[in-house]
Amino acid sequence: MPDLQEIVHEIADEMARRDDRGDVATYIPELAHVDPARFGLAVVAADGTLACGGDCDLPFSIQSISKVFTLTLALGLAGDSLWRRVGREPSGNAFNSIVQLELEKGVPRNPFINAGALAVTDVILSGHPPREALGEILRFIRFAAQDDSVFIDESVARSEKATGFRNAALANFMKSFGVLRNPVDFVLGTYFHHCAIAMTCEQLARAGRFLAHSGRNPDTGCSIVSAERARRINALMLTCGHYDGSGEFAYRVGLPGKSGVGGGILAVAPGQASIAVWSPGLDESGNSHLGRIALERLARRMKWSIFGQ
Ligand code: GLN
**In this structure, is residue 218 part of a structural domain?**
yes
**In this structure, is residue 307 part of a structural domain?**
no
Q: Are residues 185 and 88 in the same domain?
A: yes
Ligand 1 pocket: which of 96, 152, 191 to mutate (most atoms within 8 A of CB): 96
Domains: count for the chain: 2
Q: Are residues 90 and 181 in the same domain?
A: yes
Q: Is 191 assigned a catalytic role?
A: yes
Nearest CA to ligand 1 atom 3: 114
Q: How far apart are CA 239 and CA 304, in angstroms?
A: 17
Q: Which amino acid is at 133?
A: A
Q: Are residues 174 and 100 in the same domain?
A: yes
Q: Which ligand 1 atom is the nearest neighbour of the CA of 262?
A: 8
Give the pocket of ligand 1 (CB within 6 Å): 63-64, 95-96, 114, 160, 167, 195, 260-261, 286
Give the active site residue among 43, 67, 97, 253.
Answer: 67
Q: What is the DSSP string of 263-291?
A: SEEEEEETTTEEEEEE--EE-TTSSBHHH
pTM, rounded to two decimals: 0.98
Ligand 1 pocket: which of 28, 62, 66, 187 to mutate (most atoms within 8 A of CB): 28
Q: Domain ends where: 141, 173, 197?
A: 197
Q: Left if phi > 0, otherwise alpha if psi is -120 to 50, otherwise beta: which for 89?
A: beta
**In this structure, is residue 309 part of a structural domain?**
no
Q: Are residues 89 and 46 in the same domain?
A: no
Q: How far is CA 11 from CA 3, 65, 113, 283, 293, in A?
A: 12, 22, 29, 19, 9
Ligand 1 centre distance from Cα of residue 205 (Å)? 20
Q: Domain ends where: 179, 197, 215?
A: 197
Nearest CA to ligand 1 atom 4: 114
Q: How far apart are CA 32 and CA 34, in angstroms?
A: 6
Q: Are 173 and 96 in contact (CB under 8 A)?
A: no
Q: How far apart are CA 304 and CA 78, in angstroms?
A: 33
pLDDT of residue 309: 84
Q: Are 289 and 259 in contact (CB under 8 A)?
A: no
Ligand 1 centre distance from Cα of residue 213 (Å)? 27
pLDDT of residue 1: 64
Q: Are 260 and 66 in contact (CB under 8 A)?
A: yes
Q: Are 115 and 177 in contact (CB under 8 A)?
A: no
Give the active site residue among 8, 66, 175, 191.
Answer: 191
Q: How far apart are CA 44 and CA 204, in angstroms?
A: 10
Q: Are residues 206 and 237 in the same domain?
A: yes
Ligand 1 centre distance from Cα of residue 19 (Å)? 25
Nearest to 190 by CA among 112, 95, 122, 106: 122
Q: What is the mean pLDDT of each run of 10 residues along the chain (309 residues)?
A: 92 97 96 97 97 98 98 97 96 88 92 97 94 98 98 98 97 96 98 98 98 95 96 98 97 98 98 98 97 98 96
Q: Are residues 150 and 189 in the same domain?
A: yes
pLDDT of residue 93: 87
pLDDT of residue 157: 98
| Helix H or strand E encompassing 50 | strand 50-54
User: How many other C-beta atoms are found inside a 10 Å radius of the C-beta of residue 214?
Assistant: 17
Q: Are residues 192 and 96 in the same domain?
A: yes
Range of the domain at 295: 4-60+200-302
**In this structure, is residue 10 part of a structural domain?**
yes
Q: Domain ends where: 134, 164, 197?
A: 197
Q: Is 67 assigned a catalytic role?
A: yes
282 forms beta bridges with 23, 288
Q: Which ligand 1 atom is the nearest neighbour of the CA of 160?
A: 1
288 forms beta bridges with 282
Ligand 1 centre distance from Cα of residue 96 (Å)? 8
Q: Are residues 191 and 210 in the same domain?
A: no
Nearest to 267 by CA among 141, 217, 276, 280: 276
Give the active site residue among 61, 64, 91, 259.
Answer: 64
